Amino acid sequence: MLRYVPVLLEIALTVYCLIDAIQTDEVVIRNLPKMAWIFLIVLLPIVGPVAWLVAGRPTRETFQGRSQQQRWEDHRRDQERRRPRGPDDDPDFLKDI
């Protein structure tokens, strides 16, 4: 019976980290994209889940005082700023016409 404990702990840790990674919003995940973390957790039995807990899981400060909707809106706003604009959307170009 005692020999099954490490295997059960490994499975429990993997399942916990996999569910946590799947449910975590991609905006707040650190260091790697969400799919990379999921593959890492599944493919590397002990190293993947421990790496998720140490380097991928969002910090506690990320969640304090901000709702998921606010984080998503901030992410969308950042994406909009990075998107290339056409000349007809550029106020400086329109001013020069």
Cβ neighbours for 37, distance < 8 A, ≥ 6 positions apart: 21, 29, 52, 56
Q: What are the pLDDT digits (tens) for 26-60?
A: 888 888 899 999 999 999 989 999 999 998 888 76
Instruction: Quote the distance between the C-alpha of residue 78 and its chain's center.
Output: 16
Q: Pull the structure tokens for residue 77.
A: 């706003």
Q: Pull the structure tokens for residue 14.
A: 């993997």
Q: CA nearest 89: which of 76, 81, 72? A: 81
DSSP letter string over 75-91? HHHHHHHHS---GGG-H
- Going from N- to C-terminal start, the domains of the chain cover 2-85
Q: What are the pLDDT digits (tens) for 83-97?
A: 656 666 677 777 777
- Cα(first)–Cα(last) distance of the chain, in Å? 81
pTM > 0.75 = no
